[in-house]
Each structure stands twice: as C-alpha cells, then as structure tokens.
C-alpha cells in the first residue's frame, strides 16, 4: 500500500518561502509510471493543481503559479518537495501531495497524502 505524507511549517510569513516535503512509502519514487504531484485547496474552495515532477527530475507547473514554484525530487530519500516563493494570504491552503498515473490513465490521481494546512500570516 502506497502512502504519502506531507511535512513542513504550518505558518509562513507573507513574502517568505513556503517549503513542503512529501515522503513516499510502500513504493519507489523512481518508477517511470507516475507523476509526483502537488495540489492545494484554499479554505472552502476547490482543488487546484500546482504541478508535478517526474522520476528523472522533469517538471511541469500550473501557468498561474509557475513563476513562484519549484518542485524537486530526491530519489535517495524517496521524497519530493514543493517550494513556493513570495507567499501571500492567497497561498493559505491545504496542500496535498499525490501520485498521478501516467500513460493512458494520465490525470488519474490514485494516492493522496492526508494534506497539510499552511497559513500565510504575519
């Protein structure tokens, strides 16, 4: 059973950098069958895709967040991370890491982390 677990600060000051890590267990992050993905959900709102990293380090980001976003992968630790710079109150959200299937089922997210709430406030 694959498990994903987010970790990182629950409070970030405005203009500072938000950094979260996702630890993956029960499966290898080096598999080429998946995209390792970050998704967020503003309070009371819908889901917003942030971007993904592939096992070889290739990335693709939501155009609306691309200029502030970096997603990286650490295969030695079976982890991947999210960095979001210049945080504002609008970045206050529950952040989920997830595994997206590739190939013909691209877009399907079969495993999700439990989510971590990040507040951006002074």
Q: Which is nearer to other proteins, 16 or 102 (CB)?
A: 102
CB of 15 to other proteins, least distance (A): 25
CB of 105 to other proteins, least distance (A): 6
Q: Which is nearer to other proteins, 16 or 48 (CB)?
A: 48
Q: Which is nearer to other proteins, 52 or 84 (CB)?
A: 52
Q: Which is nearer to other proteins, 67 or 122 (CB)?
A: 67
DSSP letter at 53 equals E
Sign of CA dihedral 19, 35, 22, 75: negative
Kindly list the residues in this chain that would bind other proteins in the complex (CB under 8 A). 37, 39, 46-49, 52, 60, 62-63, 96, 100-101, 104-110, 112-115
CB of 8 to other proteins, least distance (A): 16
Q: What is the DSSP string of 11-33?
A: EE-TTS-EEEEEEEESS-TT-TT
List, in sequence order, every residue forming a beta bridge with 35; answer none if it has no partner: 100
Q: Could you tell me the CA-to-CA distances from 92 to 25, 36, 40, 41 in Å, in that order?
A: 27, 21, 9, 9
**Cα–Cα dist 51/36, whole Å:** 8
CB of 112 to other proteins, least distance (A): 4
């Amino acid at each position: 059973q694959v498990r994903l677990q987010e970790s990182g600060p629950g409070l970030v000051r405005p203009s500072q950098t938000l950094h979260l890590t996702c630890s993956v267990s029960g499966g290898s992050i080096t598999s080429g069958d998946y995209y390792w993905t970050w998704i967020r959900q503003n309070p009371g709102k819908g889901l917003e895709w942030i971007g993904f990293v592939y096992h070889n380090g290739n990335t693709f980001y939501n155009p609306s967040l691309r200029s502030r976003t970096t997603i990286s992968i650490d295969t030695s630790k079976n982890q991947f991370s999210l960095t979001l710079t210049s945080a504002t109150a609008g970045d206050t959200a529950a952040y989920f890491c997830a595994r997206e299937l590739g190939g013909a089922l691209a877009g399907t997210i079969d495993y999700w982390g439990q989510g971590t709430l990040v507040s951006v406030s002074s």
